[in-house]
Amino acid sequence: MQRLERRAPAPWGKACAFTGHRPNKYPYLSDEISAPYRALVSRLRTEVQVLIQDGYTHFLSGGALGVDTLAALLILDMKEENPDLTLEMAVPCPQQADRWPEPDRRTHAFLCESADVLTVISPFYTPFCLFERNRFLVSRSDALIAVYDGTPGGTRMTLSCALDEKKRIVIVEP
């Protein structure tokens, strides 16, 4: 696994980051066999395929529970059919998953180990490391796929940053 410092130049072409809410906002995000979960995966896969056709090969996930995890798993799955894709896990701090339930910690560890690039934003948790991670995702990408319903939170802030930086934005209904 390649590890890059925060501001290292990107060795790939077009990049897309993901953002979206946590399972407390959309409980079906914790239920991989539910119809809403499968429908969301299908919608995300379609949008990623469109971006791949437009030359996007590098995808970034912030590593949070919910949409970030779902998107990272999707990219790893799509890498099997398209080995040119790369996944970057941009985690806010090494302790991100420490208080999560054990199955979620295992999934997080798997994603970080399976990623082509692991970027750790802060060496330890701070009140600002989540916001810094979101800004990093936007600054490192050319496009943003957001699973977003219009409510306030980190997803809205990330979208706002992407709008300010005139990034390509794809909004997927939750």
Kindly list the domain boundaries of the chain, sorted by start residue: 32-91+107-172
Nearest to 89 by CA among 70, 121, 64, 61: 61
**Rounded to an integer, what distance in angstroms lies between the CA atom of residue 42 and that of residue 36?**
10
Compute the C-alpha angle 61/107/1, nearest 5°: 60
Mean pLDDT value of segment 16-21: 97
Please report, rounded to a whole number, the percentage of residues in the chain having pLDDT higher than 90: 88
Dihedral angle, C-alpha 169, 150, 26, 101, nearest 10 ° = 70
Residue 127: per-residue pLDDT: 87
Answer whether residue 8 shows pLDDT above 70: no
Answer whether residue 139 shows pLDDT above 70: yes
Mean pLDDT value of segment 113-126: 95
* Number of helical (H) and strand (E) elements in the chain, helices listed first: 5, 7
Mean pLDDT value of segment 148-163: 95
**Rounded to an integer, what distance in angstroms lies between the CA atom of residue 58 and that of residue 160?**
22
Give the range among 6-20, 55-69, 128-142, 158-172 with minimum mean pLDDT.
6-20
Answer whether residue 17 shows pLDDT above 50: yes
Residue 10: per-residue pLDDT: 54
CATH node for 32-91+107-172: 3.40.50.450
* Ramachandran category for residue 142: left, alpha or beta (phi over 0 → left; psi -120 to 50 → alpha): alpha
Residue 13: per-residue pLDDT: 82
